[in-house]
Chains A and B, each alone.
Chain A
Amino acid sequence: MACSPGFHETCGDTVLSLRGVSYRYAGATDPAIRDVDLTMQDGELLGIVGASEAGKSTLCLVAAGLAPRTIRGSLSGTVHLDGDDAASLQMHELAARIGICFQRPWTQLSGVCETVFEEVAFGPMNLGAPRDETLARTEEALTALAITDLAPRDPARLSGGQMQLVAICGLLAMGPAHLVLDEPTAQLDPAGTRLVADALAQLAASGASILIAEQKTDLLAALCSRIIVLQAGRVIRDGPTVEVLTDPELPRQGVPETSAGRLRRLATEAGIATELLDQALD
């Protein structure tokens, strides 16, 4: 399979595999996720939905190896990245393989870099890349997300959406095998959401493997091929986007309907034929 810019070759097709994974935070009585089985293939775009505290963030942290490592807790089951057991890898090795992006843009900035260029270069530098390689990777990542014009700007003065792009760019520069995104647009306004959504669509088109948790089902409907529904820590649905997002049970499970889905449902409930609607929604 062709390699997208900034992404490592992966050995085999399964890039992420969780088997029977349960995770309990230190000091908590109940596990945050239970018996989760999940595999992600190379180039796949996997969406995670669920009510808040259903375990989406926990799943992202476990998939990225930050739990139980940095976040204290106990993990049962196995997590494999490209065939390697995540527990056997050092934290910085994990960082090189998975890029994880969080909700709040400003806490992801290093806070010590005066330009976006240095901010994006932070990751490869930390990983010990020689100077030329750092420069090359940074330029590549900036080009991949089309933010080269932001390079000389002060990261602290960017809009929320731009900050998130810089954060994702900084992850790309480390050359990860796949990206994990935990509600990246939750704190953004529509302009910022659009920025991030377009960037993700571009990455997807170039063959990236992306795991993304979101409340904005509209976004996931446009981006993902497969959706997983979490409820009280368990995976209750795992299937193609169209099927999962049109399931009438979804709102009861705490997942918002897509805008189009809601319109269709309201029309059906009011006894109106949906052909006109479908035409307009195409």
Chain B
Amino acid sequence: MPAFLERSPPSRWHALNPLTKLIFATVTAMVGLIIGGLVGPLILVAVAVVLPASVAGVLGRLVRTSVLVSLPIAISTLLINVFFFPGGQEVLLRLGPVVATREGVGFALEILARILTISGAITLFYLTTRPSELVLDLERRGVSPRVAFVANASVQTVPAMLERASNIVAAQRARGLDTEGSLVRRIRGLLPVVAPVVLGSIVEVEERTLALEARGFTRPGRRALLWFPGDSAGQRAARWLLVSAVPAAALAAAYGLLAWLP
């Protein structure tokens, strides 16, 4: 097999099987939600997000991306809960009719911690796994090649569609489409932009379908893949362990075993 097809992962974390990384991210997010509190999720973030991220060498990017993505939710949550937490007693700050309470701040911080856990876990997965490798792994495990293709193709479609859209806007502006006028005019100007994107995509889908059929896409059954991500007994065991952590955490929370965590 040609050398350039051998994938060489940049770190040991990257080299893990995509399914392992997917389950790891999902479990981290779910456990973070379940255990609640402030310290629990923060410990989880340190162990299950920061640590693997530094092993993988993506810590910097992860912090930037994760913070950027969660910033809107974080700000709105903070504002709502700090000032409008029901049952808040200890007043910290008074701004006219609006009151910031200590309980509100506490609650807001807990929510923030959960948001951090979830977004950190998802970003870690996204930064260390190529979608095509995940899809290949799934196909190896039995997912139909046609479903796998759709999954892969959907990811690729977005940049192509964006490029089309910008081209279309240019063409319509050249015909006098007003993109700088009043709101009403701009809304009216949406159809000449959206319609070609949709219509053109439909035409393109027809042609793509023909081309795919001409390359044997419709043959039922599996394919012999040129390459797929490796797996190991150790990772299989780890995946089962991880999955079982979710009900375990749920039980622990239900029985109040975690009440000692602030």
Binary contact track B94-116/A, C-beta < 8 Å → 1, others 0: 00000000000000000000000
Known contacts A112-B156, A135-B1: A171-B214 contact under CB 8 Å? yes
In the complex, whether A129 has a CB less than 8 A from a CB of chain B is yes
- Within A29-57, the residues touching B (CB, 8 Å) are none
Q: In the complex, A91 Cα to B216 Cα: how many Å?
A: 7
**Contact among B1, B132, B216 with A123 in the assembled complex (CB-CB below 8 Å):** B216
How long is the Cα–Cα vector from A126 to B148 in the complex, in angstroms? 12
**Which residues of the partner chain B approach A279 to less than 8 Å between Cβ atoms?**
none
B215 contacts A134, C-beta separation under 8 Å? no
Cβ-based interface call for A7 (8 A): no
CB distance from B66 to the nearest CB of A (A): 27
Q: How far is the CB of B220 from chain A (nearest CB, A)?
A: 8
Judge whether B211 is part of the interface by a CB distance below 8 angstroms: yes
Stretch at the interface among A99-107, A208-216, A258-266: A99-107
Check B217 against A126 for contact (C-beta < 8 Å).
Answer: yes
Q: Which of B208-262 contact A (CB under 8 A)?
A: 208-219, 221-226
Is A177 at the interface (CB under 8 A from chain B)? no
The answer, yes or no, to whether A121 is at the interface (CB within 8 Å) is yes
**How many A residues touch B, CB cutoff 8 Å?**
43
Our pick among A64, A100, A110, A134 for the contact of B226 (Cβ within 8 Å) is: A134
Contacts of B222 in A (CB 8 A): 128
- Chain B interface size band reads 20 to 34
Q: Is there a chain A Cβ closer than 8 Å to B2's Cβ? A: yes
- Which residues from 83 to 135 on chain A have a C-beta closer than 8 Å to any C-beta of chain B? 90-92, 95-96, 98-100, 102, 104, 107-108, 110-112, 114-115, 117-118, 121-123, 125-131, 134-135
On whether the beta carbons of A174 and B215 are closer than 8 Å, the reply is: yes
In the complex, which residues 1-42 of chain B have their Cβ closer than 8 Å to any Cβ of chain A?
A: 1-2, 4-5
Residues of B within 8 A of A92 (CB): 216-219
Looking across the interface, which residue of chain A has its beta carbon closest to that of B208?
A107
- Bound complex: CA A151 to CA B213 (Å): 23
With A and B bound together, what is the CA distance between A64 and B213 in angstroms?
A: 11
Which residues of B have CB within 8 Å of A122?
Answer: 215
Q: Chain A contacts of B157 at CB under 8 A?
A: 111
Query: Which residues of A lie under 8 Å from residue B178 when comparing CB positions?
Result: none
Question: Within the complex, what minimum Cβ distance (angstroms) separates B245 from chain A?
Answer: 34
Would A130 and B224 count as touching, CB distance under 8 A?
A: yes
Q: Is the CB of B225 within 8 A of A125?
A: yes
Contact A107 B207 (CB under 8 A): yes
- Distance in angstroms from B157 CB to nearest chain A CB is 8
Interface residues of A in 59-103 (CB under 8 A from B): 61, 64, 66, 69-71, 90-92, 95-96, 98-100, 102
In whole angstroms, what is the CA distance A118 to B149 when docked?
A: 14
The reply on A170 being an interface residue by CB < 8 A is yes
Nearest residue (CB) in B for A151 is: B2
The reply to whether the CB of B153 lies closer than 8 angstroms to some CB of chain A is yes
Docked CA distance A104–B223 (Å): 27
Query: What A residues does B90 contact at CB under 8 A?
Result: none
CB distance from A26 to the nearest CB of B (A): 13
- A130-B226 Cα distance, complex, nearest whole Å: 9
Contact at A174–B216, with CB atoms within 8 Å? yes
Chain B residues, CB < 8 A from A71 = 210
In the complex, are the beta carbons of A102 and B207 less than 8 A apart? yes
Determine if B120 is an interface residue (Cβ-Cβ < 8 Å).
no
* Residues on A with beta carbons closer than 8 Å to the beta carbon of B149: 110, 112
Q: Is the CB of B214 within 8 A of A66?
A: yes
Q: Which residues of B contact A248 (CB under 8 A)?
A: none
Q: Which B positions have Cβ atoms within 8 angstroms of A?
A: 1-2, 4-5, 132, 145, 149, 152-153, 156-157, 160, 204, 207-219, 221-226
Contacts A/B (CB < 8 Å), 11 sampled: A70-B213, A95-B214, A100-B210, A102-B210, A104-B207, A108-B211, A111-B157, A115-B5, A127-B216, A171-B215, A174-B215
Interface residues of A (CB under 8 A from B): 61, 64, 66, 69-71, 90-92, 95-96, 98-100, 102, 104, 107-108, 110-112, 114-115, 117-118, 121-123, 125-131, 134-135, 151-152, 167, 170-171, 174
Given A126-B219, A134-B224; 8 other pairs, CB 8 A cutoff: A92-B219, A95-B214, A112-B152, A115-B4, A115-B5, A126-B215, A126-B223, A174-B216
Cβ-closest 8 pairs across A and B: A92-B219, A126-B216, A112-B152, A152-B4, A95-B216, A107-B207, A108-B211, A123-B215
